[in-house]
Amino acid sequence: MINTRINQLIEYGFKHDLLTEDDKYYAVNRILKILNLNNFLWEEVKSENFSVIINDIIDYALKNKIIKRNSVTERDAFEAMIVDCLLPRPSELNKIFRKHYKKAPKYATEFFHDFSIATNYIKVDRIAKNINYKYKGKYGDLNLAINLSKPEKDPMDIKKQSQDNSKYPICPLCMENVGVYQTSSLAPRSNHRVVSISLNNEKDAWGFQYSPYAYFNEHIIVLRKDHSKMYVNEKTFLELIDFINKFPHYLIGSNAGLPIVGGSILSHHHFQGGRFDFPIENARVIKKYKKKRVQIEVLDWPMATIRFSGNNENRLLDMVNQVYQYWKTYSNKEINIFAKTNEEHNTVTPIVKLNGSDFNFYMVFRNNYSNKQYPYGIFHTNPERFHIKKENIGLIEVMGMAILPGRLLTEIELIKQAIKGEIEVDNNDLLIKHKHWIEKLKSDNISENLDEYIKKDIGRIFEDILEDANVFKYGDENDFLRFVEKAIY
Ligand SMILES: [Zn+2]
């Protein structure tokens, strides 16, 4: 049985261009070593589904005590190690990527994307479990995703991780993750590959990879190879534009580099992007300006946003930098915008995409000031909406896509029962945080499908959350327009 599965895995590797004829003996022998086998027979085999092959191999390893625990993380880590036996070394993969890139950037990324799916680094089966839907709101459609793809961590793994002080790799974005075997990291890494790219004249200083738990089509991560802090400034804008010059079929953006308004990893400079149209791109335009041959549009979006467009990148960047500099020191005490207290608070979330021959550069204004009343930040989700989402409003949310915790699915079922009066809210740990919302839903006297109504109401709350993060929310539209007009002058 195990002999057949190994044959099938090699066959799978051939079929998906992971290895060539030259590699097959080497690949088999590496697999045999891991499985403590010292014999192998070549068989004529029929193709089999990857998950069937790999799960049987993992079960074999468990039965023979090669791995000890039957947890998702341990299985994933072992799977990655087996798959790695089929894969080219990073240098070889880079060569293949560059060869394809010479034909066309799209050709190279399609190859690498297919490769990352074939190695099961991108967990397509699990991503398919996510629930995706749209909410038709005041600002057009918003995208919502209930994230069921990331496995719940085994408590034993979390304990192990907390005891692990070695800090190698320092963070999940470090290059040291390429090929590392660890069962307690966020994702298995033995089969992890990053290709080298050059941005802003820094040769091969950057890495390009796909996200293992893609939230949207071809979800990419672009990272500096050195472990250095996130920064959002003129240099970042150049790097983003340069990325689009090199990969014109992608959208790319950066999280704001400050806590509260940034992403979850501030310690390692990186961007995220993909081949996807986000709701922000379809926002209506409130007002249009033309300055120094750059078009500037104020968007009808829950967060204060402008879009710069033009086909000359230098002129565009001059205008982007001018507005950014103006914002950096902009304070308006009447509407609670403080550029600086003991530290700087104003920053932006930048996003770039091509539209024909024009660059579209989105600048979303952010501020991370907090006070006694709002210790999480005054331009952060209002605590009354924490029951839906408490985390930072990062790049992906800013663009109009909510990534919601998987727990919501179970909770929605309970909320339905609570609305019907079948269960008590007060005695239920999962429901108590939703109490005020359940009261509201009850008073809505819902006549339509309850599931649909609740999902729609989550969309409405997400829209409110984005408005919470609007830096001009204590003023009105005219405050923002006055700011823009001064900034672009
Ligand atoms: Zn790092």
Across 170-181, average pLDDT: 92
Instruction: Provide the pLDDT for residue 194.
Output: 97
Cα(306) to ligand 1 centroid in Å equals 31
Query: How far separated are the first and last CA of the chain, in Å rounded?
Result: 73
Is 90 exceeded by the pLDDT of residue 187? Answer: no
Contact of 133 with 451, CB cutoff 8 Å? no
Across 242-269, average pLDDT: 94
Cα(251) to ligand 1 centroid in Å equals 23
Instruction: Provide the pLDDT for residue 158.
Output: 55
Instruction: Provide the pLDDT for residue 166.
Output: 63
Across 245-256, average pLDDT: 98
Instruction: Provide the pLDDT for residue 304.
Output: 98
306 forms beta bridges with: 298, 363
Cα(141) to ligand 1 centroid in Å equals 35
Cα(259) to ligand 1 centroid in Å equals 17
Cα(90) to ligand 1 centroid in Å equals 18
Which residue range is the domain that position 422 belongs to? 401-468
Instruction: Provide the pLDDT for residue 153.
Output: 60
Cα(397) to ligand 1 centroid in Å equals 23
> Is 246 part of a structural domain of the chain?
no
Q: Which residue has the higher pLDDT, 157 or 44?
A: 44
Cα(267) to ligand 1 centroid in Å equals 7
- 45: tokens are 């085999």
Model pLDDT for residues 309-334, shown as the tens digit of each residue: 999 999 999 999 999 999 999 999 99
Cα(197) to ligand 1 centroid in Å equals 17
Contact of 327 with 484, CB cutoff 8 Å? no
> Is 36 part of a structural domain of the chain?
yes
Which domain-ending residue is among 14, 49, 66? 66
Across 168-195, average pLDDT: 86
> Is 435 part of a structural domain of the chain?
yes
Cα(396) to ligand 1 centroid in Å equals 21
- Average pLDDT over the chain, rounded to whole? 94
Cα(228) to ligand 1 centroid in Å equals 7
Contact of 299 with 138, CB cutoff 8 Å? no
Across 58-68, average pLDDT: 97
Cα(242) to ligand 1 centroid in Å equals 22
Instruction: Provide the pLDDT for residue 149.
Output: 84
Least confident of 29-33, 57-61, 169-173, 190-194: 169-173
Across 435-446, average pLDDT: 94
Contact of 105 with 249, CB cutoff 8 Å? yes
Model pLDDT for residues 373-400, shown as the tens digit of each residue: 999 999 999 999 999 998 899 999 999 9
Cα(269) to ligand 1 centroid in Å equals 8
Cα(187) to ligand 1 centroid in Å equals 15
Is 90 exceeded by the pLDDT of residue 351? Answer: yes
> Is 176 part of a structural domain of the chain?
no
Cα(382) to ligand 1 centroid in Å equals 31
Instruction: Provide the pLDDT for residue 160.
Output: 60
Model pLDDT for residues 118-146, shown as the tens digit of each residue: 999 999 999 999 999 999 999 999 999 99
> Is 190 part of a structural domain of the chain?
no
Is 80 exceeded by the pLDDT of residue 18? Answer: yes
Which residue is listed with tokens 């996003």? 351
Instruction: Provide the pLDDT for residue 182.
Output: 76
Cα(185) to ligand 1 centroid in Å equals 13
> Is 273 part of a structural domain of the chain?
no
Cα(118) to ligand 1 centroid in Å equals 26
Which domain-ending residue is among 66, 95, 122? 66
Confidence of residue 340 (pLDDT cuts 50, 70, 90): very high
Cα(226) to ligand 1 centroid in Å equals 7
Going by DSSP bridges, is the β-strand pair 202-210/220-224 parallel, antiparallel, or unpaired? antiparallel
Neighbours of ion ligand 1 (CB under 5 A): 170-171, 173-174, 227, 268
Which domain-ending residue is among 46, 66, 86? 66
Confidence of residue 427 (pLDDT cuts 50, 70, 90): confident
Question: Which percentage of the chain shows pLDDT scores above 90?
Answer: 89
Instruction: Provide the pLDDT for residue 264.
Output: 81
Cα(2) to ligand 1 centroid in Å equals 38
Cα(181) to ligand 1 centroid in Å equals 17
Instruction: Provide the pLDDT for residue 316.
Output: 98
The side-by-side arrangement of strands in the sheet containing 285-291 is 195-199, 202-210, 220-224, 270-274, 251-253, 346-355, 358-367, 305-310, 294-299, 285-291
Q: How many domains does the chain have?
A: 2
Across 435-462, average pLDDT: 95
Across 337-347, average pLDDT: 96
- The DSSP-derived string for 404-424 is EETHHHHHHHHHHHHHTTSS-
Cα(96) to ligand 1 centroid in Å equals 26
Give the DSSP H or E segment for 2: helix 2-15
> Is 457 part of a structural domain of the chain?
yes
Cα(196) to ligand 1 centroid in Å equals 16
Cα(474) to ligand 1 centroid in Å equals 37
Model pLDDT for residues 147-168, shown as the tens digit of each residue: 998 766 666 665 665 555 567 8
Residue 50's alpha-carbon distances to 53, 127, 327, 329, in angstroms, are 5, 16, 52, 55
> Is 55 part of a structural domain of the chain?
yes
- 117: tokens are 């799916």
Across 218-240, average pLDDT: 97
Task: Name the pTM for this structure.
Answer: 0.95
- Residue 281 CA to its chain's centroid (Å): 18
Across 345-358, average pLDDT: 97
